[in-house]
Chain A
Amino acid sequence: MISRRDFLQATVAASAIWGADGVGRWSRLAAQQRLTQDQLLDFKSTGNVTLIHITDCHGQLVPDWFREPEVNLGVGAQKGLPPHVTGADFLKLYNIKPGTPEAYALTYLDFEAMAKTYGKMGGFDRLATVVKSIRAERPEALLLDGGDTWHGSYTVLKTKGQDMVNAMGALKPDAMTTHWEFTLGIDRVKEIVGTLPFAFLGANIFDATWDEPAFDPYKIFDRNGVKIAVIGQAFPYLPVANPKWMFPDLSFGIREDRMAAMVAEVKGKGADLVVLLSHNGFDVDRKMAAQVPGIDVILTGHTHDALPEPVLVGKTMLIASGSNGKFITRLDLDVQGKEIKGFRHKLIPIFSDVIAPDAEMAKLVADQRAPYEKEMAEVIGHTGSTLYRRGNFNGTWDDLICSALIEDRQADIALSPGFRWGPTVVADQPITREDLYNATAMTYPNAYRSEMTGAQLKAILEDVADNLFNPDPYYQQGGDMVRVGGMGYAIDVTKAQGQRLSNLTLLNTGEAVDPAKTYVIAGWGSINKDTQGPPIWDLVEGWVKRKGTVSVEPNHSVAVTTG
């Protein structure tokens, strides 16, 4: 167990710049033991700027369950720092009592019981209530979307993202940045961007042939007499982590020099406040904040972290607003003489049973879903155990997918990508087709079957592990370790690439994986063009229907050493 004192360096409570006044409302709420909408929205306005941040909603229009990770390791200088703190340590760090609504929203602890008590979270109709309430009080608030919006559900897949364009559009954001949007294909992205009444920003998106900027890098807003520059940063590793043939002429990358140049440029244009709307991932943003001076606030995204207080790097405030529509961050700033003189921050948990749905948005969402309701609602089976995705090495959703892959594709070993999106199905519930698509819906779903030697398989796992556990955040791609079915292994996350994995073992025989022997591998989500195989959702649906009721046993096949 880590003590709160150990963490104080990493939290704003220790900051001499603003004092502890700006945070800490969560514990008070917890003490009251009950929730009302007024309490959730209660906020003592301050200063002259209000930012509203939502990110990584992954197409979740309606309330859902989302179990936060049990394992979320940081390596190198990031070890033990937020957001690499989970469960009881997280509660201690932020002074949250176990069993409270906040503990439920922010950790995996006692998830099943708490899910029944406190219910689903998120939903665009509830988000609309919160956004409208903030705007009623602060009409000049900026609403900024960190991306991964047009992705991740049955209706997104069927409408090519139009459902989310319509729903997010109705929230009237001022700017967005991006990642999964590009997996709709470059033509569709350009078509949508052409219709957006707000800014689509990515300072690090370049034309690959000519190395010229491909989208607007920033937009400057004049609000309450404060010039607010919002710089966008798309996910840097789109062409590496996602199929680049879907957007062949674009190049991304971290491009730290470009970011420094953009900060200088907006300051040259008189910006009073520099906000980075980022899809870098938290550790990348933490490094960028240290490397590129002059950014006042980074609205982080990609790694799906929800933190109830800002993290400070020098004078830069890092905000983490969670995923799946579960939270909205409100950040009030007092900007005077181009400096933040005071702030108040709240990560607002969207408890769907507490926050009233906005009627207008509820209708809009219902309209998007209406053509597909019947097929989405079909029950394909039941689950006796909670199906969740998050965790560095495995999650029960992927364990289920791997089991289906091994059986249906007659494979020795199955691989499921280390995605962080996909909500949770609580134990003893029906599994609907919508639930399955929430965990699998994307545009390159084919379940392949191929052969690999043990040596090739290990090389791939080492490569993925380095993309997750490289101690230099600029070499991290976010996401989690590829999930493996049919094989166990040991991993020491502190080692160098090529040396992290050991003891690769076939689970059904207990035999060691032979580097020279060829194995049949099944998987999905390959970034290679023309991958052959059925869409993963068809394969898994067939498997679940045959089983009727599924139950995923705890997975102990990965032995982790954290140094």
Chain B
Amino acid sequence: MRLSRREVLAVGVGGVALTLIAPGAHASELDDVVAKFTGGAAVGSGGVTVTAPEIAENGNTVPVTVEAPGAVAILLLAPSNPTPAVCTFTFGPAAGSQKAATRIRLAKTQDVTAIAKMADGKFVKAVATVKVTVGGCGG
């Protein structure tokens, strides 16, 4: 399975919609992307998880899973990418779970970030540090 940043694939259950964010945004627009998603509301923590490898085996296709039980949408961000916004998963009422997995490209080591919009309108955030390394070996 080969995926570019533009061709992220959402693996989820029925009722999941995926919005691809157009490339061309700038890193300086990170705050704008977040503000647009949250409407400027405060972002708390807890209730959302982002799972990714600690060290990427291949920075061009890093598996990432986000989950937030009870969420209506999850925004996935790669803050240090040239285009920090990756995608937004939207969960309809028929969604069996609020979980989605995709593979993303990471330009360098960074905190992959998920912000979930919960049904009550509150926002929560989680990060996972993914290292992109040149490698080498010990052991």
Residues of A within 8 A of B (CB): 56, 148, 179-180, 208-211, 235-237, 239-242, 244, 251-254, 257, 279, 281, 302-304, 417-421, 459-460, 463-464, 466-468, 472, 474-475, 477-480, 482, 497, 525, 527
Q: Nearest CB to that of A523 among chain B residues? A: B136
Question: Which residues of B85-139 are within 8 A (CB) of A?
Answer: 109, 129, 131, 133-139
User: Which residues in B have their C-beta under 8 angstroms from that of A279?
Assistant: 139
Tell which of B1, B129, B134, B135 has the most Cβ of chain A within 10 Å. Answer: B135
Q: Nearest CB to that of A525 among chain B residues? A: B137
CB distance from A478 to the nearest CB of B (A): 5
Q: Give the 8 A-B residue pairs with the shortest CB-CB distance, closest first.
A: A479-B138, A241-B137, A239-B57, A240-B135, A253-B53, A478-B139, A474-B54, A302-B139
CB distance from A11 to the nearest CB of B (A): 25
**Contact A148 to B57, CB < 8 A, known contacts A211-B63, A466-B133, A475-B131:** no
Cα distance A464–B139 when bound, in Å? 13
User: Which residues in A have their C-beta under 8 angstroms from that of B51?
Assistant: 257
User: Which residues in B have their C-beta under 8 angstroms from that of A421?
Assistant: 139
Contact call B57/A480, Cβ cutoff below 8 A: no
Cα distance A233–B37 when bound, in Å? 40
Contact call A477/B138, Cβ cutoff below 8 A: yes
Cα distance A179–B138 when bound, in Å? 11
CB distance from A280 to the nearest CB of B (A): 10
Q: Nearest CB to that of A209 among chain B residues? A: B1
Contact call B136/A241, Cβ cutoff below 8 A: yes
Binary contact track B1-40/A, C-beta < 8 Å → 1, others 0: 1000000000000000000000000000000000000000
Contact call B1/A418, Cβ cutoff below 8 A: no
B45: Cβ under 8 A from any A Cβ: no
Contact call A417/B139, Cβ cutoff below 8 A: no
CB distance from A198 to the nearest CB of B (A): 22
Contact call B131/A418, Cβ cutoff below 8 A: no
CB distance from A318 to the nearest CB of B (A): 17
* 17 A-B pairs with C-beta separation under 8 A: A179-B139, A235-B139, A237-B55, A240-B55, A240-B133, A253-B54, A279-B139, A304-B139, A417-B137, A418-B136, A419-B137, A419-B139, A463-B136, A464-B134, A466-B133, A475-B54, A527-B136
Cα distance A307–B135 when bound, in Å? 28
Contact call B133/A463, Cβ cutoff below 8 A: yes
User: Which residues in A have their C-beta under 8 angstroms from that of B135?
Assistant: 237, 240-241, 527
Contact call B139/A148, Cβ cutoff below 8 A: yes
Given A148-B139, A279-B139, A466-B133, 7 additional A-B pairs, CB 8 A: A241-B135, A253-B57, A302-B139, A417-B136, A419-B138, A419-B139, A479-B136
User: Which residues in B have their C-beta under 8 angstroms from that of A420?
Assistant: 138-139
Q: Nearest CB to that of A257 among chain B residues? A: B51
Q: Nearest CB to that of A240 among chain B residues? A: B135
Tell which of A251, A253, A281 has the most Cβ of chain B within 10 Å. Answer: A253
Residue from the list A56, A240, A466 in contact with B57, Cβ < 8 A: A240
User: Which residues in A have their C-beta under 8 angstroms from that of B55?
Assistant: 237, 240, 253, 467, 475, 477
CB distance from A240 to the nearest CB of B (A): 4
Contact call B138/A252, Cβ cutoff below 8 A: no
Cα distance A562–B50 when bound, in Å? 33
**Contact A527 to B139, CB < 8 A, known contacts A209-B1, A253-B57, A474-B54:** no
Cα distance A407–B136 when bound, in Å? 23
Q: Nearest CB to that of B63 among chain A residues? A: A211
CB distance from B67 to the nearest CB of A (A): 11
